[in-house]
Structure 1
Amino acid sequence: MTVLDDVVATYPAAVELERLLGDPRDATNPFGFGAVVERDGAALFPEAFATELAPHLGLSFVPPEDGGHLSTMDETLTLARLVSRRDGAAMPATMFSVTGAGCVLLAGDAGQRERVARLLAAGGVIGFAMAESEHGSDLLANECRLDPADSGGFRLNGRKWLVGIGDRCDALVVVARTGGRGPAAFTAVLLEGEQLAAVRRDQARRTSGLRGIDSTSVSFDDVEVPADCVLGGVGRGVEIALKVMQLVRVLSTAANLGCADTGLRLAMDFAGEHVFGGRVLAEHAQPRRVLATAAAMLFACDAVALPASRAMHTLPAAQCLWSGIAKRVATDLSAEIFALCADVLGARSLLHDGPFAAFDVARRDNAVVRHIDTAPDANLWSIATLVAQFPESPPEMEVPEEVAATFRLGDPLRPVRFGELDLALRGMDPVTAGFFGISAAVIAELGTGSAAAARVKRVDARLRAVIRAMHRVRARGVAGDPARWDLAVRFCWLHAAASSVCLWWFNRERRLYSLPAGSAGWLSAVLSVLLDRAGDRTPRLDAHDTTGTYTLAETLHTANKLFSAVPVALAPPRPVCSTDGK
């Protein structure tokens, strides 16, 4: 058994889930593409997924000591990715409780955590209510109030909106104002039983994608909330929510990865069968380059998301930055993947029937994920603030073992401790520091004359330049300076490149993406697209990277494997019976 086989073997739940879900191209499969197109057309909730999978996936992020099924977060990410490649709406249908349940796991007492785990095990849903329509992402302006009551508890008054599956939830975490100003003016409470029954659930709202996953407004009119419903203490509501959003951002990348997998796979199917000018599209240079570029973007998302999920175990305090970067990279690149693949499919990318109808469903589902959990601009503002606090000249340092273990796929991980999530970095970002610590050795091993080595050198120089530029912008002291946002976007792409280099370096004795151990073909293409994006250029692979990346994508696709460094075998196609019964 190769080392790669050992890595795949660490995802037994994902392998079993894929087997259970079957071939998505099977027209009779309730978990297939045909079923998702029908549900989308009628805006129906994915009941089959929720009934079959919610009791399992709903506990996939819950540590065993709290009654859950969590093995590693990268396996949980893979589970959600396998579900999302069939139906983007299936992930929220089975895992939308992650935000509300995460708040309880992070700050709840033993009784609250036990009740939540029991509810999830029964297939129940825990909603999360924080946003208000009048204030959007300006959370500190929220008005819904939790005022002291004579009973010693509170009275809850106000309105929240866009509560995911709010019409179905069996418990609800609400963040409401208990004080005057600032983050400490808000408190989180868990509403169950009588308290939940007193909540008025108003008209549901639907989005253009994730149809069937309704977001509901909820209203509170003097709802009595006992003191023992508080999570973590009065004044900790915003802190708890912002920390849990780090987990949500990392896991949400699974929806982008899954939807983009479907988009690329359908486009490759079409390119392999549609004849143009006497040859199938896949034999023409431009469609091959387009699909190779899309594949390189998907590999880049994978190279960011897998380590970020593992860092929930090893480097939780870094998630205040890393999770936001993973979210930005996955949402931006997945949208570009769909744009590229749509150019290959042409008008078929818009049709709601036929063999490629799932493409448009996946594209619309993917677009909605961008706005779940954190507004894009708020996310960038947070990233800019954190990067501005880096040392202007990052010191050279050895790579700590926890950084190496994060990137070494298959290495054992310590248990997740949600309480170690933080809102600020304590020192240098471990990915940036780790990259600077290995970049010279990486360049030497790749060979100074190689394209990959040259790109690693450019990533090193540009990362340092962005950090210095962020310090200059900060020193100007101009409130709301747009340059901070521009630099934050550039940093995201370069951080993704650094993560990709670290993934290659710490696994160079293993097979990644089904390539021979040490192969840097995938890395060269990934760095090409990320450096182009960091330079505000449209990514275009050169002829060499196009050939290698298309061949790799075609190999994974033909072998029916996930487009991932850990290429999990997908459900085999259903055998086709002949009409004469032979």
Structure 2
Amino acid sequence: MPSTGRAGPGSAGTDGEAEVRRRVAELERWFGDPADPANPLGTAAFLAADAREEPLAAAELLLERLGLTAEFVPRELGGRLTELDALARVVRVVFRRDAALGLGYGFTDFQAAVVIWAAGSPAQRQAAARLLHGGGRIVAAYPELASGSNFLANELTARPAEGAAVARLSGRKESFTNVSRADRLVLFARTGEGRHSHSVLLVDRAALPADRVADLPRRRTRGVRGCLVAGIEFADCPVPADALVGEPGGGLELTLRLFPVIRSVGPSVALGCADTALRTAVACVVDRGVVGRPSEPDGPQTLSHARSTLAGAFVDLLMCDCLALVATRAVHLAPADSGLYAAAVKYLLPQLLTDTSYELSTLLGAEFHDRDGAYGAFAKSVRDLPMIGLGAAGSAACRATVVPQLPRLARESWLRDAEPPAELFRLEAGGLPPLDFGRLSPAATGDPLAASLPGSAAATAADPGGHLAELSGLLAAELAGLREGCAALDRDGRSALLDPRGRALADRYALVLTGAACLGVWRHQQGPGAGFLADPGWLTVALTRLLRRLGTPTPKPPVDQEEPLLAEVLARFGGHRSYDLYDTPLAGGTSTDGEGRDSR
């Protein structure tokens, strides 16, 4: 059994970049070459399971043997959870193979477990850790998209009870993943009115009286078809006194406080799915000879549209990863402000990646409709990606988090806050402050990412030709324009959601944040031994694409500025390396030793 085997109490691994790379490489090796038709964990097997609308049992068994759920357990409870960006990198391996597997075996447990880590009693925390270490499952009944992502539309109620029960639970939840297989349920039930209207209950499914709880039929989904999505109904079901998590009536506040964690990690792991879509599109155009094979640098480069589309999609993934990186690291470094970035990344990334997938689909032609074979993974990824953005922290709810904060940020923060620490943009794992749930807040006190923009823009002045400096100046001007526009909204933000300008300004703000994140990553990659990310080429294209989305006229780009990016796309394809910031070695190549980006 590999060294990533299940971590028991006291067996947590060491922190640091080398340890994260080792865990990623271990998962890659055990999954094997996805293109090998004989691989029981290859693409063909996942496509067949998707067609059957069921989980791939062999993959779930592998993750159980490897103890993936230890990634979701804090180190002090014997697990490997220390830093959210490191967690996302490990789980991204699973999403790269199958989003349904990533959601159904892993991320669903994480979403539920963080409630217990944040507010559970010592006994509840220890019991949850033992359950996850033993391969058990925990699910949470977060609000549904059908309720408009409105927490107060929760369909469970709990009334006081006498005797050993703390409450009697009634109502139903129509759909959440793995409820039929869960050992423990984290339930948000209405117990009152106003701000303290909901309480959190941790329920042992097996201990509930069978005549008081019923499973609802499975709900089929267009994407992530291997996820077992169903509902549950309670009929005056007694819940024991030790089921209460945190304070009575504290459920709403707790949920809002935890959204920075859930909203930041989810989009980051979803980039694994987008990576597969891009890789499949590259395979298609290379097989057709539309672009040169990686081993043929002077091979046919016949279609400028194909070259531009592949380079642009690659840069889109890098842009998304920059914002996801900042969002996850901000939870540690700027917890009071991290909810702002988590909301922005949660609603912007699905939009960007959906647009990217559409652009890539034009390269596949008729193969876009394949459900199996060499290119079947593309259509599956396109179906799966939008599903990852649904649920309690869906796009509409996330935008609604951002809009009311814009007037105050415009008046008090933008162009006034101090620059954030360089660690906000570092790629290397290790060294971040511990996760402090008590300091998390859905409302930001400042905006350190926006505060980094002037300094990062100034750092582009040394770029030869001045093109990058001009683009970064345009982005800084966008922030200044946002400041003026957002200050004109309702002063306290309460009616900003009703103002038609609010949504448009929030969308522009999220794009400016993405540009600031890209600039920050590029800026802090400079130095001896700098690699691809220190080159201004990818950043120039990234800022150009962002400014065009903003409707800002951009200067004429340098001739053939996308050619080095296309070369990188083909090199990573031929070398079996990931299309994210980390340039991770993948199974199917000559090595999955975990060296990746810094070994080049």
Distance 2:32 2:415 in 1: 51
Q: Match of 1:334? A: 353
2:271 aligns with one of 257, 266, 275: 257
> Which whole-Å deviations, capped at 9, do the CAs of 1:511-567 have from their partners, x for residues lacking one?
67x52x7311111111121222223899x9875332122122222222211112221
Cα distance change, pair 127–441 in 1 and its aligned pair in 2 (3 A): same
Q: Match of 1:66? A: 77
Cα distance change, pair 57–354 in 1 and its aligned pair in 2 (3 A): same
> Which whole-Å deviations, capped at 9, do the CAs of 1:224-252 have from their partners, x for residues lacking one?
11232111111111122223332222221
Q: Match of 1:502? A: 520
- The residue type paired with residue 462 of structure 2 is E
Cα distance change, pair 90–388 in 1 and its aligned pair in 2 (3 A): same
Cα distance change, pair 196–68 in 1 and its aligned pair in 2 (3 A): farther
Cα distance change, pair 292–224 in 1 and its aligned pair in 2 (3 A): same
Segments of 4+ moved more than 6 angstroms: 276-281
Q: How does 1:70-219 map to 2 (within 5 A)?
A: 70-95=81-106, 96-131=108-143, 135-151=147-163, 153-181=166-194, 183-192=195-204, 193-195=206-208, 198-219=212-233
Structure 1 residue 120, shift from structure 2 partner = 0.9
Distance 1:349 1:342 in 2: 6
Q: Match of 1:578? A: none
Distance 1:560 1:196 in 2: 52
1:366 aligns with 2:382: no
Structure 1 residue 432, shift from structure 2 partner = 0.9
Q: Match of 1:3? A: none
Contact persistence 1:271–1:281 (CA under 8 A): no
Q: Match of 2:30? A: 20
1:399 aligns with 2:419: yes
* Corresponding residue SS for 1:97: helix
> Which whole-Å deviations, capped at 9, do the CAs of 1:190-246 have from their partners, x for residues lacking one?
001413855321111121011121221111111111232111111111122223332
* Corresponding residue SS for 2:452: helix
Cα distance change, pair 120–425 in 1 and its aligned pair in 2 (3 A): same
1:385 aligns with 2:408: no
Distance 1:122 1:12 in 2: 22
> Which whole-Å deviations, capped at 9, do the CAs of 1:102-138 have from their partners, x for residues lacking one?
1111100111011111111111111111336873422
Distance 2:292 2:269 in 1: 37
Cα distance change, pair 253–543 in 1 and its aligned pair in 2 (3 A): farther
List runs of 5+ in structure 1 lacking aligned partners: 1-5, 576-582
Q: Match of 2:58? A: 48
- The residue type paired with residue 15 of structure 1 is A
Distance 1:493 1:212 in 2: 33
> Which whole-Å deviations, capped at 9, do the CAs of 1:296-342 have from their partners, x for residues lacking one?
11111111112322223222222211111111232112112211111
Contact persistence 2:453–2:519 (CA under 8 A): yes
Distance 2:231 2:558 in 1: 50
* Larger CA deviation: 192-201 vs 273-282: 273-282
2:459 aligns with one of 405, 419, 442: 442
Q: Match of 2:243? A: 229
Cα distance change, pair 408–478 in 1 and its aligned pair in 2 (3 A): closer
- The residue type paired with residue 539 of structure 2 is L
Distance 1:196 1:432 in 2: 53
* Larger CA deviation: 120-129 vs 308-317: 308-317
Cα distance change, pair 542–185 in 1 and its aligned pair in 2 (3 A): farther
Contact persistence 1:317–1:421 (CA under 8 A): yes
* Corresponding residue SS for 2:371: coil
Distance 1:87 1:423 in 2: 31
> Which whole-Å deviations, capped at 9, do the CAs of 1:80-112 have from their partners, x for residues lacking one?
211111111110122111121111111001110
- The residue type paired with residue 111 of structure 1 is A
TM-score for both structures, normalised by structure 1? 0.90
- The residue type paired with residue 101 of structure 2 is A
Contact persistence 1:201–1:219 (CA under 8 A): yes
RMSD value, Cα: 2.7
Cα distance change, pair 482–398 in 1 and its aligned pair in 2 (3 A): closer
| Corresponding pairs, count | 562
- The residue type paired with residue 131 of structure 2 is L
Q: Match of 2:575? A: 559
- The residue type paired with residue 565 of structure 2 is T
List runs of 5+ in structure 2 lacking aligned partners: 1-15, 294-298, 592-600
Distance 1:61 1:535 in 2: 41
Distance 2:146 2:90 in 1: 36
Q: Match of 2:374? A: 355
* Corresponding residue SS for 2:218: strand
TM-score for both structures, normalised by structure 2? 0.88
- The residue type paired with residue 137 of structure 1 is S
Cα distance change, pair 559–574 in 1 and its aligned pair in 2 (3 A): closer
Contact persistence 1:179–1:186 (CA under 8 A): yes
- The residue type paired with residue 73 of structure 1 is L
1:430 aligns with 2:448: yes
- The residue type paired with residue 56 of structure 2 is P
> Which whole-Å deviations, capped at 9, do the CAs of 1:343-374 have from their partners, x for residues lacking one?
00111011113211111111111121121342
Structure 1 residue 482, shift from structure 2 partner = 1.9
